[in-house]
Structures are given as structure tokens and as C-alpha cells.
């Protein structure tokens, strides 16, 4: 049974290679006969990739705006109870509150 399965898998792989070779040959013929068609396909693929990346950038910008708002809300809440801190370290406390946290690499 195992030998039969191995033979079937090998036949399938051989036919897959032949099919791939056929399409690669047709692609080569097309690129020689109609080079503008290949360029159009490449341009189309690049446009699709740009659209996908633009959507991804917009998604990340939306998340960034959300978290900036969250951080702003938190900083406003922390400033309300002690609007003007008193004491010898008041200036340092106020200055350090305005320093943004480092961004983590993703």
C-alpha cells in the first residue's frame, strides 16, 4: 500500500513540475511577443501591493492616534490632583511629566 502511495505522490509531483514548466514556457513566449503585457501585470501587482501597504499604514495610524489619546487622557488625569507640585523637587517632577515614554520597536 505504501509503495502505491509513494508512486502516486511521485506521479503527482512529476505532473506538477511539467505543468509549471509549461506555464513558465508560455510566460516566456508572452514576454517576448508582448512585453507590454508583462509590464502591465507588474504595474498591477505593484499597485495592489501599494494599496495593501497604505491600508496597513492607515490601520497603524489609527492605533497610534488611539494610544496617543489614551496617554493624553492619563497625563491629564495625573495633573489634575496636583496641578502645581510644591517642594524642592517640584520643577524636576513637572519637567519629567512632560517627557514622552520611549516607543517600543515592533
User: For the chain, which residues make up each domain, given as ranges?
Assistant: 1-77
Separation of CA 53 from chain center:
7
Closest C-alpha to 42, from 26, 52, 29, 31:
31
pTM for the predicted model, two decimal places: 0.48
User: For position 5, what pLDDT does the model report?
Assistant: 93
Would you state the pLDDT for residue 104? 65
Confidence at residue 3, expressed as pLDDT on a 0 to 100 scale: 86
CA atoms within 13 Å, Cβ hemisphere of 71:
13
- So what's the pLDDT on residue 8? 95
Q: Mean pLDDT of residues grouped by 10 in the chain (106 residues)?
A: 91 98 94 90 96 97 95 84 61 69 64
Rounded CA-CA distance 48/14 in Å is 33
* CB-side neighbour CA atoms (13 Å) of 9: 6
CB atoms within 10 A of CB 84: 7
Amino acid at each position: 500500500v505504501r509503495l502505491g502511495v509513494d508512486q502516486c505522490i511521485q506521479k503527482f509531483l512529476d505532473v506538477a513540475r511539467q505543468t509549471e514548466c509549461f506555464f513558465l514556457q508560455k510566460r516566456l513566449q508572452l514576454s517576448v511577443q508582448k512585453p507590454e503585457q508583462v509590464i502591465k501585470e507588474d504595474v498591477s501587482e505593484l499597485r495592489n501591493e501599494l494599496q495593501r501597504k497604505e491600508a496597513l499604514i492607515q490601520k497603524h495610524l489609527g492605533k497610534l492616534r488611539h494610544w496617543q489619546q489614551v496617554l493624553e487622557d492619563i497625563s491629564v488625569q495625573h495633573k489634575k490632583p496636583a496641578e502645581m507640585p510644591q517642594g524642592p523637587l517640584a520643577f524636576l517632577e513637572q519637567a519629567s511629566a512632560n517627557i514622552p515614554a520611549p516607543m517600543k520597536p515592533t
